[in-house]
């Protein structure tokens, strides 16, 4: 007989989520730097980096209100990393594909926590974050359709066409 996990420690769940928000912020920052020559793609990815910074702020606020503890600084270790999140590589196309996978994994985590954490306000917070992740995924899907062409050569060709097609 297997024992199913029915509840999650709120403190740990919030710390993992905060680490995820920091990891995703850094992921998108690096991904946006890979394609800074493509203004639209850069704006989308750097905007998602800011969104994850906002998630971190919401999680800090939720942590303080739910647990009555103030976080002056956040010292997290490896145990607070979501192991299914991937780091950003050096290929822009792979970075966008990994972003979609990471957002999906993060949404799964938020949904699971929203169902298993005890405090109602934290449940609501995780549901809201999962909804925001849905919006991130929709933006990524609509902005970066397959097959992706975000390599430097394609970006240079796109700029060339923009510059000389209007003249």
Using CA atoms, how far apart are residues 149 and 50, in angstroms rounded to an integer?
A: 24
- 121: domain CATH number? 1.20.1260.10
The tens digit of pLDDT for each residue in 35-89 reads: 888 888 899 999 999 999 999 999 989 888 887 777 656 667 677 888 888 899 8
Kindly report the number of other CB atoms within 10 A of residue 15's CB atom: 20
> Residue 2: inside a domain, yes or no?
no
Say what the pLDDT of residue 2 is: 45
Q: How many other CB atoms sit within 10 Å of the CB of residue 84?
A: 13
Say how many domains are in the chain. Answer: 1
How many other C-beta atoms lie within 10 A of the C-beta of residue 152? 12
Print the domain residue range for 57: 10-67+87-157
On whether residue 148 sits in a domain, the answer given is yes
Write down the pTM of the prediction.
Answer: 0.80
Q: Please confirm whether the linkage preceding 147 is cis (ω < 30° from 0).
A: yes
């Amino acid at each position: 007989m297997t024992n199913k996990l029915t509840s999650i420690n709120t403190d740990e769940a919030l710390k993992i989520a905060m680490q995820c928000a920091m990891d995703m912020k850094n992921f998108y920052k690096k991904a946006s730097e890979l394609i800074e020559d493509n203004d639209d793609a850069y704006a989308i990815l750097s905007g998602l980096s800011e969104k994850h910074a906002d998630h971190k702020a919401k999680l800090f606020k939720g942590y303080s209100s739910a647990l009555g503890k103030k976080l002056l600084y956040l010292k997290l270790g490896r145990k607070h990393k979501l192991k299914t999140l991937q780091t950003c590589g050096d290929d822009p196309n792979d970075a966008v594909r990994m972003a979609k996978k990471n957002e999906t994994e993060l949404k799964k985590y938020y949904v699971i926590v929203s169902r298993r954490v005890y405090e109602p306000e934290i449940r609501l917070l995780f549901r809201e974050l999962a909804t925001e992740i849905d919006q991130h995924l929709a933006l990524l899907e609509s902005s970066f359709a397959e097959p992706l062409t975000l390599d430097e050569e394609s970006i240079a060709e796109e700029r060339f066409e923009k510059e000389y097609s209007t003249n």
